[in-house]
Structure 1
Amino acid sequence: MTTRHVPLALGLVLAVQGMASEARAADDGWRYQLTPYAWMAGVSGDVRPLAGAPTVSTSRSFGDVLDDLEGAFFLAGSARRDRWVLFGDLTWASLSHESTLAPGVAVQGKLRQRSLTAAAGYQVVSEPDHRLDLLAGARAWRIEAEVGVPALALGARDTERWVDPILAARLRSSWRPAWTTLLHADVGGFGVGADSTWQLVATGNYAVNETLYLSAGYRHLAVDRDEAGTRLDVAMSGPLLGATWRF
């Protein structure tokens, strides 16, 4: 190599090193994603929303739930850096129902639920096509129940709040360039908040581009809690649709 070519070669080496450094910095930075989704869940189980009230067994399809639905909001998100991962999920729903106790006497009921899941973990498997995260965290619940008989000027209201510790695993698999799957499982409660709770989520995901993904799948969430005269032993399950923005 001639002397005049040394500066050019040195410049190319420095440029490549600079590009590699920038790529490593990008890889080492935080990556985020947000997923608003719709969960079309039915509900079944036993509920005693107020202390002293009778226990009610229910089995309602999503169509039945939709008739009573006043509003709902679901949002999941995650953040990653190297193999570390943070995960969160927010759910909110409000329902109301009216039935007849006697001719001219209506009973009105309202139920509002909120849950917030937060967990942190580590990617224990990092293969080109399969990545497994193990996480630990908590799910906080707030359930507000209200029953009223306007004609008799009677009513009762109660709010239950508790926090469940949870352990979770998330497996992401790539099958084709644009197709991936996600399997999520968690278990918790352990008598700290609820007696027990567990969840399974499975989705198939399609990459529209590098930042937008569309998802469809199924979710099942169960919780069993008996505390201070109230009882909640229900399972919520149904299909879900979502869109994920990655940045």
Structure 2
Amino acid sequence: MIRNLSGAVAIAVLGSLPALAEDWSGQITPYIWATGFGGDITPFTGAPTLSFDKSFSDVLEDLDGAFFLSGYARQDRLVLMGDLSWSSSSKSGRVPPGLPAEGKLTQRSLTMLMGWRAVENQGFSLDLLGGARAWSIKSSIAVAGGLIHASPGKNFVDPILAARANIAMGPQWSALVYADFGGFGVGSESTSQVLATVNYEVNDNLWLSFGYRQLNVDYRSGGTEVDVRMGGPLIGATWRF
């Protein structure tokens, strides 16, 4: 029997034993992502650009809310993955020529992938996947107490290519390395994600995972520019069924 852990795009990390050809196996993972936040946001043409550069402690102080959930299913070599991320954060400061300003960014992303287990042997597996990431991004800015105010929203879908390697590290331990890239000018200019975790099997139905995730998007359209990087450690708990 090979111990194996599988994760979703963004994932937070998932584990599964090899399934019989006629059976589906699956898991679901809520996770905590202690993400820092950096980037530039221009809500519309001529609007001031707000620059974010925050550690997780800064983000937590200004965080309005966050929710992260991933899922995974496999039948023989067919692999399905999904990841849902939602977060909202705010910032206040000043923009030239020294006017007080408040900015807010709310993002939702849903990644759905289908792929094939290209390599599977004792201690190692490799999945190759393709799919899409749907974004909903709303940025707002208020200058001089609302004298200037705008809150445009953008919805777009990016094609995604991904690869995931799963490595056994010994009894009850494994490692997961995942990367994707997409956009290609279809929705955003580019989007990418990397994830690396170490995973521990508590019992047949429960895994705990610890690692790092980074998610990037560079979107430009009609005067709106959102170039955002989100990254930090994560902790996940996977229920397998």
TM (normalized to structure 1)? 0.83
Identify the residue that residue 232 of structure 2 maps to in structure 1: 238
Q: Which of 61, 80, 83 pairs up with 1:86? A: 80
Structure 1 residue ranges, 4+ long, deviating more than 4 angstroms after superposition: 24-27, 149-154
Percent identity among equivalent residues? 52
Identify the residue that residue 3 of structure 1 maps to in structure 2: none
> What are the within-5 Å matches in structure 2 for residues 157-168 of structure 1?
157-168=151-162
Contact 2:50/2:103 (8 A) holds in 1:
no
> What are the within-5 Å matches in structure 2 for residues 1-247 of structure 1?
27-99=21-93, 107-148=101-142, 151=145, 154-247=148-241
SS in 2 for 1:217: strand
Contact 1:37/1:240 (8 A) holds in 2:
yes
Identify the residue that residue 7 of structure 2 maps to in structure 1: none
For 1:212, give the aligned amino acid: L
Computing the radius of gyration from Cα coordinates, the structure with the larger value is 1
Deviation at 1:153, TM superposition (A): 5.5
Contact 2:20/2:75 (8 A) holds in 1:
no
For 2:222, give the aligned amino acid: A
Distance 1:98 1:235, change over 3 A: closer
For 2:186, give the aligned amino acid: V
Tell me the distance in 1 between the aligned counterparts of 2:223 and 2:105.
17
Report how many aligned residue pairs link the two structures: 222
For 2:112, give the aligned amino acid: A
Tell me the distance in 2 between the aligned counterparts of 1:164 and 1:40.
25
Tell me the distance in 1 between the aligned counterparts of 2:48 and 2:103.
14
Tell me the distance in 2 between the aligned counterparts of 1:136 and 1:111.
28
For 2:110, give the aligned amino acid: L
SS in 2 for 1:194: coil
For 1:53, give the aligned amino acid: A
Deviation at 1:57, TM superposition (A): 2.8
Higher relative contact order (CA 8 A, sep 6+): 2
Tell me the distance in 2 between the aligned counterparts of 1:243 and 1:194.
31
Tell me the distance in 2 between the aligned counterparts of 1:117 and 1:42.
20
For 2:151, give the aligned amino acid: R
RMSD: 2.2
Unaligned runs of 5+ residues in structure 2 are: 1-17
Contact 2:207/2:238 (8 A) holds in 1:
yes
For 1:49, give the aligned amino acid: P
Deviation at 1:64, TM superposition (A): 1.0
Q: Mean Cα displacement is larger for which, 125-134 or 25-34?
A: 25-34
Deviation string for 1:124-154 (max 9, x for gaps)? 0011210111000000000112233585565
Distance 1:87 1:178, change over 3 A: same
Tell me the distance in 1 between the aligned counterparts of 2:156 and 2:50.
21
TM (normalized to structure 2)? 0.85
